[in-house]
Structure formats: structure tokens, C-alpha cells
């Protein structure tokens, strides 16, 4: 039986952006992470071993967002890859990284990148 957990609204300050000024000044990004997993056979106990520990997910997000990148796609892909390595139970990982009010010639509320592995 597959299960899904999600963490929405992870707010992290990071130095990502195509333009040098974006990387120098930094900004807040918002991450949403969704994980589909298949717990090991047998009864579900009230223990972390039966699920994916969201503290580990938050740690991965924090570490990967700290590595400056011009584009958000590689950051989201690295987060997905590292979460998949947490456990054989993990089937798919979806990571969405949003940038609110990006600096563009026209005003938009939100830009996001979403990757599923």
C-alpha cells in the first residue's frame, strides 16, 4: 500500500538566480516536497522506521539550497535525488521551488520549478 507525505511552505533564504545581482543579494524561496513511498511489509508501528522522516527531508532541502546555482532546476533535481537515497521505501519525489515576485519586465506573483523523480 503506497503512502504519501508532503511538506509545504518550507521557506529558505538562498542565493540562486541567473543574474549575478540575484546570487549576490539572495532572496527567500518556498519549497514544497511530496514523497510517495511503500512501507515495508507487515504491521505499521508508531515508529519513524515505518515512514520517511521529515526532519531528514528538511535537512536535505537546507543543505542543497545553500549551494548557489544559476537555475532552480538543478537544485530541485539534487533534492529529489538525495531524498530518493534516504530509503528503499521511497518511490517518487516531487520538489517544487517557488520564487515570489521575481525581477522581470512584467509583474508576476510567482515563478516555480517542479521536478518529479
Domain ranges across the chain? 3-99
- CB neighbour list of residue 70: distance below 8 Å, 6 or more residues apart: 16, 17, 18, 23
CATH T-level fold of 3-99:
GTP Cyclohydrolase I, domain 2 (3.30.1130)
pLDDT at 44 over 90: no
Q: pLDDT of 6-27, one tens digit each?
A: 999 999 999 999 989 989 999 9
What predicted TM-score, i.e. pTM, was given to this entire model? 0.91
Q: Are 37 and 52 in contact (CB under 8 A)?
A: yes
pLDDT of 98 strictly over 80 = yes
What element of type H or E holds 21?
helix 20-25
User: Which residues, other chains included, contact 79 with Cβ-Cβ below 8 Å and sequence gap of 6+?
Assistant: 31, 33, 60, 61, 64, 93, 95
pLDDT band at residue 101, thresholds of 50, 70 and 90?
confident
Amino acid at each position: 500500500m503506497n503512502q504519501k507525505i508532503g511538506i509545504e511552505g518550507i521557506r529558505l533564504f538562498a542565493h540562486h538566480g541567473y543574474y549575478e545581482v540575484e546570487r549576490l543579494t539572495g532572496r527567500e524561496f518556498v519549497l514544497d516536497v511530496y514523497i510517495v513511498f511503500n512501507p515495508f511489509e507487515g504491521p505499521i508501528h508508531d515508529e519513524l522506521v515505518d515512514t520517511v522522516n521529515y526532519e531528514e527531508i528538511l535537512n536535505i532541502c537546507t543543505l542543497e539550497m545553500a549551494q548557489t546555482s544559476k537555475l532552480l532546476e538543478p537544485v530541485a533535481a539534487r533534492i529529489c535525488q538525495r531524498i530518493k537515497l534516504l530509503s528503499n521505501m521511497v518511490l517518487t519525489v516531487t520538489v517544487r521551488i517557488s520564487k515570489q515576485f521575481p525581477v522581470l519586465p512584467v509583474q508576476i506573483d510567482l515563478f516555480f520549478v517542479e521536478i518529479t523523480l
